Protein backbone atom coordinates (compact mmCIF):
# COMPACT_ATOMS: atom_id res chain seq x y z
CA UNK A 1 0.00 0.00 0.00
CA UNK A 2 1.47 3.32 -1.08
CA UNK A 3 -0.03 6.66 -0.14
CA UNK A 4 1.07 10.10 -1.27
CA UNK A 5 0.65 12.98 1.15
CA UNK A 6 0.90 16.64 0.30
CA UNK A 7 3.06 18.49 2.81
CA UNK A 8 3.90 22.19 2.84
CA UNK A 9 6.91 23.80 4.46
CA UNK A 10 9.66 21.41 3.39
CA UNK A 11 12.33 23.50 1.75
CA UNK A 12 15.64 21.67 2.15
CA UNK A 13 17.21 18.29 2.81
CA UNK A 14 17.09 18.95 6.53
CA UNK A 15 13.31 19.28 6.31
CA UNK A 16 13.13 16.12 4.23
CA UNK A 17 15.10 14.24 6.85
CA UNK A 18 12.98 15.65 9.66
CA UNK A 19 9.73 14.58 7.99
CA UNK A 20 11.13 11.17 7.10
CA UNK A 21 12.31 10.53 10.64
CA UNK A 22 9.08 11.79 12.20
CA UNK A 23 7.05 9.39 10.06
CA UNK A 24 9.40 6.48 10.72
CA UNK A 25 9.21 7.14 14.43
CA UNK A 26 5.40 7.03 14.28
CA UNK A 27 5.19 4.12 11.82
CA UNK A 28 8.44 2.17 11.99
CA UNK A 29 7.59 -0.10 9.04
CA UNK A 30 6.99 2.81 6.69
CA UNK A 31 9.20 3.36 3.67
CA UNK A 32 9.30 7.11 3.09
CA UNK A 33 10.29 9.08 -0.02
CA UNK A 34 10.28 12.88 -0.14
CA UNK A 35 9.67 15.02 -3.22
CA UNK A 36 10.85 18.40 -1.97
CA UNK A 37 10.03 20.38 -5.10
CA UNK A 38 6.57 18.88 -5.34
CA UNK A 39 5.78 19.01 -1.63
CA UNK A 40 4.90 15.34 -1.64
CA UNK A 41 5.69 12.51 0.71
CA UNK A 42 5.26 8.97 -0.53
CA UNK A 43 4.80 6.37 2.16
CA UNK A 44 4.87 2.69 1.39
CA UNK A 45 3.74 0.44 4.18
CA UNK A 46 0.97 0.72 6.72
CA UNK A 47 -1.58 3.32 5.59
CA UNK A 48 -2.11 4.91 8.96
CA UNK A 49 -3.10 8.35 7.76
CA UNK A 50 -4.05 9.75 11.16
CA UNK A 51 -0.75 8.76 12.71
CA UNK A 52 1.26 10.02 9.75
CA UNK A 53 -0.60 13.31 9.74
CA UNK A 54 0.05 13.76 13.45
CA UNK A 55 3.75 13.03 12.98
CA UNK A 56 4.08 15.53 10.12
CA UNK A 57 2.29 18.23 12.09
CA UNK A 58 4.19 17.54 15.30
CA UNK A 59 7.42 18.03 13.36
CA UNK A 60 6.24 21.50 12.35
CA UNK A 61 5.14 20.94 8.76
CA UNK A 62 1.77 21.51 7.19
CA UNK A 63 -0.29 18.48 6.26
CA UNK A 64 -2.45 19.12 3.21
CA UNK A 65 -4.10 15.78 2.65
CA UNK A 66 -3.47 12.88 0.35
CA UNK A 67 -2.74 13.16 -3.33
CA UNK A 68 -3.72 10.84 -6.15
CA UNK A 69 -0.94 8.48 -7.19
CA UNK A 70 0.98 9.79 -10.18
Min separation Cβ 30 and a copy of itself, Å: 15
Distance between CA atoms of residues 13 and 45, nearest Å: 22
Distance between CA atoms of residues 12 and 37, nearest Å: 9
Q: Which of 4, 30, 42, 61 binds a copy of itself (CB under 8 A)?
A: 61
Instruction: Provide the mask over 5-24, with x wherever binding to a copy of itself is found by CB under 8 A and - wherever it is not.
Output: ----xxxxxxx-xxxxxx--
- For the chain, the farthest-separated pair of C-alpha atoms sits apart, in whole angstroms, at 27
Min separation Cβ 5 and a copy of itself, Å: 16
Using the 8-state DSSP alphabet, how is residue 9 labeled? -
* SS3 call for 63: strand
CB nearer to a copy of itself: give 14 or 68.
Answer: 14
CB nearer to a copy of itself: give 44 or 58.
Answer: 58
Amino acid sequence: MTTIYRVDGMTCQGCARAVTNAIKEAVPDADVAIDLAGGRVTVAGPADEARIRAAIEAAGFEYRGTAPAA
